[in-house]
Homo-oligomer: A and B are copies of this chain.
């Protein structure tokens, strides 16, 4: 049992943080978010140069052969700096399907480009009314002309407007809600029949609703076995959930630091010392929330990397997400309150941490969803 980064991981964490502090401060981010594209090509290039885009992929495809634990420090830094580039959609979600279930040809065509920063991706999964049910896929994939034809609609696809390639879940048999019959397809974002309704989410990320109308794909667009993708979707979603827990840790850290800084300033302006003690108590509660969130995020990342039993993996991820979602709510709310309401002002970075934390609390399932999921998984006999 060992809870610390190894030396290599620590070096990585340090260099990522240095980059963020230097080149991705609040003012830089503000400009990126305000730009027409809503993301920064130079920032993405730097992530590639630093090797961050290759972290979880095999060296066979120019990657570093790491796992969620190795990506934790990157996700924390992303959360702290509120990075809007599509790191999670590309590296943590869409490309994972290729890496885990793609054909050799798919891997060769996709992964080295992802690693090099030449290819951005997004995972189009959620549909209307699905809430967090991963089996709720109604988008249809029919065999047509030796390949496939896709029809359906996907909602809130994070990173879609700036992705080059999409991984789309669709049903090759059965109906929405059934476990069997879901398949995955690689689709060019600019393919004929793909229409995007792009927008920005409340936390400044690029997203889109996706209309697929008679989208024609070759036979080689299928990722993994036909009809049996649900387990893989669950696995990759758990992987991404563990990563977003780590991102939350970073965003919580910023909210805590900013609040502490604000209180110190207030103190200089003469807040009575007795009052300050009550505030300090609340600050400590926020720090404890941070420690617990980090501890659970570590556990979840470790489990998605190493746990063979899928039930145990899912329990660990859900337990972490429950705790992290609670921490997101606790810390974001306290940050706003302790800033005396200023925490909602757009001019302060903490208001954007507030927004991101509110969304992370919901991403891949809120605490209620994961409580329900946790309850449904039988515990391994001890």
Contact = CB atoms under 8 A, between A and B. Distances in A.
A1 B129 contact: no
A288 to B, nearest CB: 6
Nearest to A276: B131
A371 interface: yes
Interface string A282-319: 11110110011001101101110010000000011001
Interface stretch (A93-101, A104-112, A227-235, A356-364): A356-364
Contacts of A340: 362
Contact of A2 (B2, B316, B379): B2
A342 B199 CA distance: 13
Interface stretch (A117-125, A208-216, A264-272): A264-272
A333 B344 CA distance: 13
Given A1-B298, A292-B292, A341 B323 contact: no
Contacts of A274: 372
Contacts of A281: 278, 281, 371, 375
A368 interface: yes
Contact of A284 (B284, B299, B375): B375
Contact of A270 (B128, B301, B342, B345): B128
Task: For chain A, give the interface size range.
Answer: 35 or more
**Most chain B CB atoms below 10 A, which of A128, A295, A303, A329:** A295
A274 to B, nearest CB: 7
A15 interface: no
A35 interface: no
A345 B202 contact: yes
A98 to B, nearest CB: 26
Nearest to A269: B129
A11 interface: no
25 contacts: A1-B5, A2-B2, A129-B266, A131-B271, A131-B272, A202-B345, A274-B372, A277-B277, A278-B281, A281-B281, A281-B371, A281-B375, A282-B368, A283-B375, A284-B371, A284-B374, A287-B374, A287-B379, A288-B374, A291-B315, A292-B292, A329-B337, A337-B362, A341-B358, A341-B359
